[in-house]
Structure 1
């Protein structure tokens, strides 16, 4: 069954000339639950002050979304198998580079989840690998992108 998801992205020129190309890339991201997040272009792409270093950039959102999707599937599968997860921490990274067509792409996203379990039932290395494999296979976003998404549990 298809699901429709929404978000809002709002940028306003204000009193900036704009046509001089020295306009702020700061914007607001709004999500259906009411959360607002400050967004901007990456300072690696557009130098400050036209970008806002404290805001979230699209590349960061991309890797965070992939990580979040993987985590949510991992938790669901672990719970279904009877493993009690106490903590899940990931620090994903993304490699932006030029592809063979000369376009900048997020070529690789690497997830490095560190998970703490408690209880009598503890996954061994093979079971942990299987949990990550299944989570990756089920993640809607990982199934939606061309980017190579790697999972490297810590």
Structure 2
């Protein structure tokens, strides 16, 4: 078994001069910094007084699930002889906010649209989404089912 450590630096930059003296007195803006990488400007969802022009934790969570699935899927296709030439996902996540303000994600649906070269490997390409879900580090860390509705198309020969 291998252990991987990750480190980020999060800097809240929403103090408007009065700190958190009340719910309206501060901005929810923050910056995520990772050595050697571009900063990520974040805030809360606009429903929670956040900046709509910045990424919120819920969007980043959904993006983590989608991108982890994609990376595993591409890996599995490469070792199983399925040539992917395009991959796009339109992921949907549903979060439930409880009466007291806490909440949780109840569902995520990934909707990858994949284009492959080999027509005879369409079914294999579809099945590899299940295996990618089993392998995905982020999906394995979630306490809800992540569903998949993949579309597999065959690349057209433009020559």
| Superposition TM-score tier, normalisation by shorter sequence | 0.7 to 0.9
Q: Is the 8 A contact 1:6 1:31 kept in 2?
A: yes
Indicate conservation of the 8 Å contact 1:108/1:149, yes or no. yes
**Residue 143 of structure 1 aligns to a residue in which SS?**
helix
Q: Looking at secondary structure, tell me which structure has more helix per residue.
A: 2
**Greater displacement, 22-31 / 130-139:** 22-31
Gapped regions of structure 1 (runs ≥ 5): none
Q: From 100, 122, 125, give the equivalent of 1:124.
A: 122
Pick which of 30-39 and 133-142 moved more. 30-39
Unmatched 5+ residue regions in structure 2? Answer: 152-159
Tell me the residue number matched to 2:130: 133
User: Match of 1:81?
Assistant: 80
> Separation in 1 of the partners of 2:94 and 2:68?
19
Aligned Cα RMSD in Å?
Answer: 2.0
TM-score using structure 2 length: 0.84
Q: Does structure 2 conserve the Cα–Cα contact (< 8 Å) formed by 1:82 and 1:121?
A: no
Distance in 2 of aligned mates of 1:3 and 1:71:
20
Change in 2 beyond 3 A, CA 1:71/1:13:
closer
